[in-house]
A = this chain, B = another copy of it.
């Protein structure tokens, strides 16, 4: 499993600077055991370093995502959550009734990916996806 140190190496290797802000953002993502939002990261970091600005969170997340170090999950309506890339890929089922989020194994989409590549010559992004609907409990 990739540690924070490895991510830091990847950054410097590619010519990016190691700023305290980036390290604090990284620490917040690594520490979190769930899919964290930009707001949550901001709240954690600003508590220790009051001058910290939320636009830095967004810019850092965009960088880490571009380098493939974190995944973005668009939960619809503009809500996006982040997750360390090395903690496993998966997709999500979001219940629109109770808000529950169910993890979905990546392999469930293998068939669809195949069809898109074969019939549409379209190479789909492997990023986390969310599907909306109603979970078992709410369908009763």
**12 A-B interface contacts by CB (under 8 A):** A74-B76, A104-B116, A108-B115, A109-B112, A111-B111, A121-B135, A121-B136, A121-B139, A122-B133, A122-B135, A124-B131, A127-B132
A134 within 8 A of B: yes
Closest to A111 in B: B111
Q: How far is the CA of A125 from the CA of B93 in the complex (A)?
A: 10
A51 within 8 A of B: no
A96 within 8 A of B: yes
The interface centre, meaning the residue of A104, A119, A120 with most chain B CB atoms within 10 A of its CB, is A120
Q: How far is the CA of A125 from the CA of B94 in the complex (A)?
A: 10
A50 within 8 A of B: no
A63 within 8 A of B: no
Q: How far is the CA of A77 from the CA of B135 in the complex (A)?
A: 25
Residues of B within 8 A of A136 (CB): 120-122
A5 within 8 A of B: no
Measured CB to CB, the closest approach of chain B to A68, in angstroms, equals 14
Rank and list the top 5 A-B pairs by shortest CB-CB distance, nearest first: A121-B136, A78-B78, A124-B133, A125-B132, A125-B133
CB contact under 8 A between A134 and B139, given known A108-B112, A112-B109: no
Measured CB to CB, the closest approach of chain B to A125, in angstroms, equals 4
